Structure 1
Amino acid sequence: MKLYAERPVRRTAQAVSDLCALLLVAGAVWLGLTAHDQVMRLRAPGDGLVDAGDSLTHTFDSAANNADDVPFLGKALAGALHTGSGAATKLADAGHWQIDAVGSLAFWIATVLIAVPVLFVLVTWLPLRWRFIRRATAGARLRGLGEAGQDLLALRALTTEKLPRLAAAGDVTAGWRERDPDVLAELARWHLERLGLRAGV
């Protein structure tokens, strides 16, 4: 499998593009995780509400239990204290809601910040690299077949090469029909160059 071109300029360009894609993905992951951590700091007030609510609930419940022992007013006082306990529970519930909301926001911000660049790389860079790998691997395989592969590479050059270059090269179609070894080798070399490969094995 040919992952990179054999010609130095194209191979360097591919290596640079691969590095850029890798850095883009790594940068997106770092940015997403950093943003997640920063947004999660907003849950501090929610944590405070939960702690305060739980503490107040415990205090009111404890006081209500002790108030039951007070003669005459014990039950009324305990009921009032239990009402305060209910309010403290709502305070803790509000804290839990804020914590959940911040956690959800942090998750989606991180997801978007990571997913968008990764999808961009998958849609743009990956298909181009996969296309090159398929074509270069097939070209290298044909190059290794000797004359049979050279014929196919020459035919491919005739059908894909730009017309001005074919016209400037003279009557290459006649040379190809007559199986002129020099013409076949030159056409095969043209197509291998387009694939980023050298003519020699």
Structure 2
Amino acid sequence: MKLYADRPFRWCLQVLSDLFAVFVTGFATWLATEAHTQVMRLRAPGDGLIEAGAGLRGTFDSAADNADDLPLVGEALAGALHTGSDAGTRLSEAGQWQVAAVSDLAWWLAVVLIGLPVLFLLVTWLPLRVRFVRRATAGVRLRRLGEGGQDLLALRALVTQPLPRLAAAGEVTDGWRTRDPEVIAELAGWELHRLGLSAHV
């Protein structure tokens, strides 16, 4: 498998693009983790509401249980105190809703902060790298085949070269028709150069 070009300039560009992809992925992961941590700090008020609601409910329930033993007014007083207990329950529920909302926000924010850069790389960088690796690997295999591989590379060069270049090099097409070894080697070199490979193994 051929991962990088033989030509120095193209090799440098590929290495820089790979380093950029690694940097973007790492930075996005760090940023998402940091954002998740910071947003999760916003759940503190919700946790406070849950604790306050639980404490309020416990206090009113305890008072209601004690008031129930009082003669005459005990039952009515206990009922009133249980109403306060319901307020503590609602307070706890409000805190739980806030904690859940903050947790969801932190999770989705982290997903977006990681997902968008990675999606960008999957759409732009990865297809280019995969295409290069496939073409360069095939080019290396053909280069190793000797004359047979040169013929195929020369034919590919005739198909892929711009028409003005072929028209300006009429002797090349004549040499192709006459099976001139030097012309075939030159054409194969054109194709290997286009793939970022050197003409020699």
Aligned to 1:194: 194
Range moving further from structure 2, 29-38 or 159-168? 159-168
* Match in the other structure for 1:86: 86
Residues 1:74 and 2:77 are matched in the alignment: no
The alignment covers a number of residue pairs equal to 201
TM-score by length of 2: 0.96
1:65 partnered with 2:65 = yes
Task: Write the distance in 2 (CA, Å) between the matches of 1:169 and 1:186.
Answer: 11
How far apart in 2 are the matches of 1:189 and 1:197?
9
Aligned to 1:149: 149
Name the SS of the counterpart of 1:171 in structure 2: helix
Paired with 1:172 and 1:74, the residues of 2 have a C-alpha distance of 111
Deviation of the 1:169 alpha carbon? 3.4
State TM-score, norm by structure 1.
0.96
Alignment-derived partner of residue 47 in structure 1: 47
CA distance, structure 1, for counterparts of residue 49 and residue 187 of structure 2 = 77
Give CA deviations for 1:37-74 in whole Å, capped at 9, x if unaligned. 11111111100000000011111111111111222221
Task: Please identify, of 3-12 and 159-168, the stretch whose mean Cα deviation from structure 2 is larger.
Answer: 159-168
Question: CA offset at residue 170 of structure 1?
Answer: 3.9
Spell out the pairing of 1:107-146 with structure 2 (5 A cutoff).
Answer: 107-146=107-146
- Which ranges in structure 1 are unaligned for 5 or more consecutive residues? none
Q: Output the aligned Cα RMSD.
A: 1.1
Map of 2:185 onto structure 1: 185
How far apart are the structure 2 equivalents of 1:61 and 1:3? Answer: 71
Write the distance in 1 (CA, Å) between the matches of 2:22 and 2:103. 28
Percent identity for Structure 1 against Structure 2: 68
After the TM superposition, which parts of structure 1 deviate over 3 Å for at least 4 consecutive aligned residues?
167-170
- The residue aligned with 1:32 is 32
